[in-house]
Amino acid sequence: MDRILIEGGTVLTMTGRADVFADGVVLVEDGRIAYAGPREGAPAAPEARRIDAAGKIVMPGIVNTHCHAGTTLIRGYGDDLRLMEWLETRVWPAEAKMTAEDVYWGTALAAYEMLSGGITTFLDMYFPADPVARAIQDTGIRGIVARGIIAVGGPSEALSRLEESREAFHRWNGKAGGRITFMVGPHAPYTCPPDTLLACAELADELGIGIHIHLSETAGEVEEARRQWGKTPIRHVYDLGLMKGRRVVAAHCVHADDDDIAILAETGTGVCHCPVSNLKLASGRTPVSKMRRRGVAVGFGTDGASSENMLHILGSEMRIGAIQAKELEGDPALFTSYDALSMATIEAARVLGMEAEIGSLEPGKRADIILIDTERPHLTPNHDIFALVAYSALPSDVAMTMVDGRIVYENGQLTQADGKEILARVREAAARVVQA
């Protein structure tokens, strides 16, 4: 039996505000958590590999609920443009030049960046599916692959994308020790007509998986939906039956009204909140607290590096998202640092339907664990550990990242892949895809 004992750190299990254990212990056995709590009462493990976590916070890996990982290749290309102008003049033309190998290296770079900042799981919507899955396998991160489906080219385009999704699922789902799983990925109602959305629902049912989709990201999108269908995008998708009886993960939902929020709550739809991307693109402010009061699971997402620029939740989405939620409510007490940390861990896991496996340090769950080094000026002193992580911690404070009980990032380096090669390959590919 492979056993690892992490001891001497401050353990945040994320099972409740009171569950903070100074000089705590986490015991990992065969990739799963066997114990997490105070040293007193911890099982003896004399033969375990020991990791000294003194001066560090030990907590669940962070969960990124929405990403377009391959867009690391076009990070910083087309900033300061409006959403549709940005997509039509920069993103889509550059993506048309990307090869499958480019997507592999772009996704590998995204995984490198995420692991370095404590993200252990991400939900990706990109294309094609195979290089994304291969990059997940090779870097050691946990990922959900949703092959982006756009049907603007007509029904035949949608059918080919659906078939690719089906084939990739059968090749990759459950591989890499279960780290690779799938969802069906219709891009949005404005790029997928009703027949395509219904075909996506059929495929999801056939494969027994969920659906990932963008909904109500901009005011213009909602206005166009009302003009075309006489309803919001969320109501449109609901009326089509897409959200009934299956796991749906909806990105953004910035302009969700009260009726939309009621639909999200009724259907158990999870929401991916990407505050920095939404602010940068001037898309608006998602009514996060209102959703959470109605019982909607909301988790932080980074969106793609082409819009957010950084694939980090520590020091970025978590901090800005918490501040934005306070401002939107007009009351700083209505959204707390613990709320923010929950949305990065256990609540984000609920968004993905993975809360039984990840998101907290509990016996039986997968050992996705990070260590944050608190011996830093900006993390001193420590009056409130949740506030310390939510408002002060930076990605560079992550000392170690573990997925399935395997250390995949430590001392600034990936342990399962060659970080220097990833950087070199991405620079080469990026120079080619953005050429005029």
Q: Which residues pair with 211 in a beta bridge?
A: 184, 248
187 assigned binding-site residue: yes
Question: Using omega within 30 degrees of 0 as the cis cutoff, is the peptide bond preceding 381 cis?
Answer: yes
Report the distance separating Cα 186 and Cα 147, nearest Å. Answer: 8
Largest distance between two CA atoms of the chain: 68
68 assigned binding-site residue: yes
66 assigned binding-site residue: yes
Residue type, 298: V
252 assigned binding-site residue: no
Report the distance separating Cα 274 and Cα 67, nearest Å. Answer: 9
Report how far apart, in Å, the C-alpha atoms of 60 and of each of 12, 181, 214, 303, 351 are.
8, 20, 27, 21, 16
Residue type, 142: R
Question: Using omega within 30 degrees of 0 as the cis cutoff, is the peptide bond preceding 128 cis?
Answer: yes
Q: Per the structure block, which two tokens stand in for 436?
A: 């005029």
Q: Are 352 and 249 in contact (CB under 8 A)?
A: yes
CA 401, distance to chain mean position in Å, is 16
Report the distance separating Cα 303 and Cα 278, nearest Å. Answer: 9
147 assigned binding-site residue: yes
Distance in Å from the first CA to the final CA of the chain: 55
404 assigned binding-site residue: no
Task: Please choose, from the candidates 117, 62, 56, 119, the residue with its C-alpha nearest in 3D space to the C-alpha of residue 376.
Answer: 56
Determine the length of the chain: 436
Give binding residues for substrate as ranges: 95, 147, 187, 217, 303
Residue numbers in the known binding site for Zn(2+) are 66, 68, 214, 303
Q: Which residues are annotated as a binding site?
A: 66, 68, 95, 147, 187, 214, 217, 303
